[in-house]
Amino acid sequence: MEENIQCPNCGGYKVENKGDGSYSYKGCAIGAALLLAIPTFGFSLVLALLALFIPDQKPREDGSIEYLCELCGYKWFHTPGTPWPAINVRPELIREGSEKLKQEGEERRRRMRD
Ligand SMILES: [Zn+2]
Protein backbone atom coordinates (compact mmCIF):
# COMPACT_ATOMS: atom_id res chain seq x y z
CA MET A 1 0.00 0.00 0.00
CA GLU A 2 1.28 3.47 -0.77
CA GLU A 3 1.04 6.52 1.40
CA ASN A 4 -0.73 9.70 0.40
CA ILE A 5 -2.77 8.30 -2.47
CA GLN A 6 -6.28 9.60 -2.26
CA CYS A 7 -9.29 7.83 -3.70
CA PRO A 8 -11.22 10.06 -6.13
CA ASN A 9 -14.49 8.37 -5.20
CA CYS A 10 -14.50 8.73 -1.41
CA GLY A 11 -11.43 10.76 -0.46
CA GLY A 12 -9.98 7.95 1.64
CA TYR A 13 -6.31 7.09 1.84
CA LYS A 14 -6.52 3.32 1.94
CA VAL A 15 -5.54 2.83 -1.68
CA GLU A 16 -3.73 -0.13 -3.08
CA ASN A 17 -1.38 0.26 -6.04
CA LYS A 18 -2.14 -2.63 -8.37
CA GLY A 19 0.75 -1.82 -10.68
CA ASP A 20 1.15 -1.11 -14.37
CA GLY A 21 -0.19 -4.43 -15.66
CA SER A 22 3.22 -6.03 -16.10
CA TYR A 23 3.76 -9.45 -14.67
CA SER A 24 6.59 -11.93 -14.92
CA TYR A 25 5.26 -15.40 -15.63
CA LYS A 26 8.85 -16.47 -15.97
CA GLY A 27 9.76 -15.67 -12.40
CA CYS A 28 6.57 -17.30 -11.23
CA ALA A 29 7.09 -20.52 -13.20
CA ILE A 30 10.73 -20.80 -12.20
CA GLY A 31 9.73 -20.28 -8.57
CA ALA A 32 7.14 -23.04 -8.88
CA ALA A 33 9.69 -25.27 -10.57
CA LEU A 34 12.10 -24.80 -7.67
CA LEU A 35 9.35 -25.61 -5.18
CA LEU A 36 8.46 -28.77 -7.06
CA ALA A 37 12.08 -29.72 -7.61
CA ILE A 38 12.31 -31.86 -4.52
CA PRO A 39 9.52 -34.40 -5.17
CA THR A 40 9.36 -34.24 -8.96
CA PHE A 41 12.72 -33.37 -10.32
CA GLY A 42 12.05 -34.31 -13.95
CA PHE A 43 8.78 -32.41 -14.16
CA SER A 44 10.19 -29.24 -12.68
CA LEU A 45 13.11 -29.34 -15.08
CA VAL A 46 10.63 -29.35 -17.97
CA LEU A 47 8.64 -26.55 -16.36
CA ALA A 48 11.76 -24.41 -15.87
CA LEU A 49 12.74 -24.96 -19.51
CA LEU A 50 9.23 -24.11 -20.71
CA ALA A 51 9.26 -20.97 -18.56
CA LEU A 52 12.14 -19.59 -20.56
CA PHE A 53 9.85 -19.42 -23.59
CA ILE A 54 6.92 -17.71 -21.90
CA PRO A 55 6.86 -13.99 -22.68
CA ASP A 56 6.27 -11.66 -19.75
CA GLN A 57 3.10 -9.64 -19.54
CA LYS A 58 3.98 -6.17 -20.80
CA PRO A 59 2.98 -3.04 -18.90
CA ARG A 60 -0.03 -1.25 -20.37
CA GLU A 61 0.93 0.86 -23.36
CA ASP A 62 -0.16 4.14 -21.80
CA GLY A 63 1.91 3.35 -18.69
CA SER A 64 -1.15 3.71 -16.50
CA ILE A 65 -1.17 2.40 -12.95
CA GLU A 66 -4.19 0.62 -11.58
CA TYR A 67 -5.45 1.64 -8.15
CA LEU A 68 -8.02 0.06 -5.89
CA CYS A 69 -9.63 1.81 -2.95
CA GLU A 70 -10.00 -0.56 -0.01
CA LEU A 71 -12.62 1.64 1.59
CA CYS A 72 -15.22 2.00 -1.17
CA GLY A 73 -14.01 -0.57 -3.72
CA TYR A 74 -13.50 2.08 -6.41
CA LYS A 75 -11.01 1.08 -9.07
CA TRP A 76 -9.33 3.46 -11.48
CA PHE A 77 -6.36 3.96 -13.73
CA HIS A 78 -3.94 6.85 -13.60
CA THR A 79 -1.16 7.65 -16.00
CA PRO A 80 1.87 9.20 -14.27
CA GLY A 81 2.37 12.78 -15.40
CA THR A 82 -1.33 13.41 -15.99
CA PRO A 83 -3.51 15.24 -13.46
CA TRP A 84 -4.95 13.19 -10.61
CA PRO A 85 -8.74 12.70 -10.98
CA ALA A 86 -10.99 15.15 -9.15
CA ILE A 87 -11.62 13.98 -5.61
CA ASN A 88 -15.05 13.76 -4.02
CA VAL A 89 -14.68 13.47 -0.28
CA ARG A 90 -17.51 11.36 1.06
CA PRO A 91 -17.04 10.80 4.78
CA GLU A 92 -19.92 8.30 4.94
CA LEU A 93 -18.18 6.04 2.41
CA ILE A 94 -14.92 6.31 4.34
CA ARG A 95 -16.73 5.51 7.57
CA GLU A 96 -18.52 2.50 6.09
CA GLY A 97 -15.30 1.29 4.49
CA SER A 98 -13.22 1.52 7.63
CA GLU A 99 -15.98 -0.22 9.60
CA LYS A 100 -15.89 -3.01 7.04
CA LEU A 101 -12.10 -3.28 7.13
CA LYS A 102 -12.19 -3.35 10.92
CA GLN A 103 -14.76 -6.16 10.91
CA GLU A 104 -12.74 -8.11 8.36
CA GLY A 105 -9.63 -7.71 10.48
CA GLU A 106 -11.48 -8.93 13.56
CA GLU A 107 -12.86 -11.90 11.67
CA ARG A 108 -9.38 -12.80 10.47
CA ARG A 109 -8.08 -12.67 14.03
CA ARG A 110 -11.00 -14.80 15.20
CA ARG A 111 -10.30 -17.39 12.54
CA MET A 112 -6.63 -17.52 13.50
CA ARG A 113 -7.56 -18.23 17.10
CA ASP A 114 -9.81 -21.17 16.14
ZN1 LIG B 1 -12.63 5.13 -2.12
What pLDDT score does 3 carry?
Answer: 59
- CA 58–ligand 1 middle distance (angstroms): 27
Closest CA to 24 of 57, 49, 61: 57
10-residue mean pLDDT profile of the chain (114 residues): values are 80 92 80 73 79 85 94 95 94 96 94 85
Beta bridge partners of 36: none
For 92, the 3-state DSSP assignment is helix
- CA 111–ligand 1 middle distance (angstroms): 27
What pLDDT score does 69 carry?
Answer: 96
Cα–Cα dist 114/14, whole Å: 28
What pLDDT score does 1 carry?
Answer: 42
Neighbours of ion ligand 1 (CB under 5 A): 7, 9-10, 12, 69, 71-72, 74
- CA 8–ligand 1 middle distance (angstroms): 7
- CA 45–ligand 1 middle distance (angstroms): 45
Checking DSSP bridges between strand 75-78 and strand 15-19, what pairing results, if any? unpaired
